[in-house]
Amino acid sequence: MNGRGIFISFEGIDGAGKSTHIEALAQAFRDRGRIVTCTREPGGTPLAEALRTLALEQAMDPLTEALLMFAARRDHLAQVIEPALARGEVLVCDRFTDATFAYQGGGRGFDVQVLEQLERWVQARADGAVRQPDLTLLFELAPEVAAERLAGARVPDRFESQPLDFFQRVARGYARRAEADPARFARIDASQPREAVWAAVRAAVAAKGFW
């Protein structure tokens, strides 16, 4: 039986291992009778996927990059996220706005106040609040370890090919977001064995009363 809509996001630097657990969590909810929508950012709709391709492949300045991310997010919210939550589904998203603050704000050094204004505009709900996930699972891993995991795994995109210090700034950007909203974030030690990480994910979801 469906209950209220639940919005869970997975965050972390490239190579932190979050993708391994996204489908496992979705299946755990399905096993409990919930309808689950899995999606990602940037992406999740035809328009947002096209914008994702531009962002990952084309060189651009930081403001253009940030605007593309929020344009993709607006379409994603309108077409996928809000309708799924209104239907009472569980929505599991591979990255959301925290990634923009980490990558564009932290990694690129873009003006966080501009990102905050875009966040308020793009994620405004009908009740005047700003749409955020109910739970954000932040996979934390030393950037040098993440780089080792990614090495040779696939051809890197424009973000994955950035130098180590970029990912160190991204990690600090994520940490600032988590420190600013500790009730929403569950910080997962992604250096643990996979079974231990999965146990931490399940515990974080249970602590929120989602099952």
- The reply, when asked if residue 61 is annotated as ligand binding, is no
- The reply, when asked if residue 16 is annotated as ligand binding, is yes
Element (H, E) at 38: strand 36-40
Query: What are the φ/ψ torsions at residue 45 (nearest 5 degrees)?
Result: -140, 160
- The reply, when asked if residue 9 is annotated as ligand binding, is no
**CA distance linking residue 92 with residue 39, whole number of Å:** 6
Element (H, E) at 139: strand 135-140
Residue 183 token pair: 């009730």
- The reply, when asked if residue 13 is annotated as ligand binding, is yes
Tell me which residue of 87, 104, 169, 94 sits closest to 133, measured CA to CA: 94
- The reply, when asked if residue 84 is annotated as ligand binding, is no
CB atoms within 10 A of CB 10: 27
Decide: 191 and 142 in contact? Cβ < 8 Å. yes
Q: E strands, 44-98, where? A: 90-94
- The reply, when asked if residue 14 is annotated as ligand binding, is yes
Could you list the residues known to form a binding site, using ranges: 12-19
Annotated binding site for ATP: 12-19
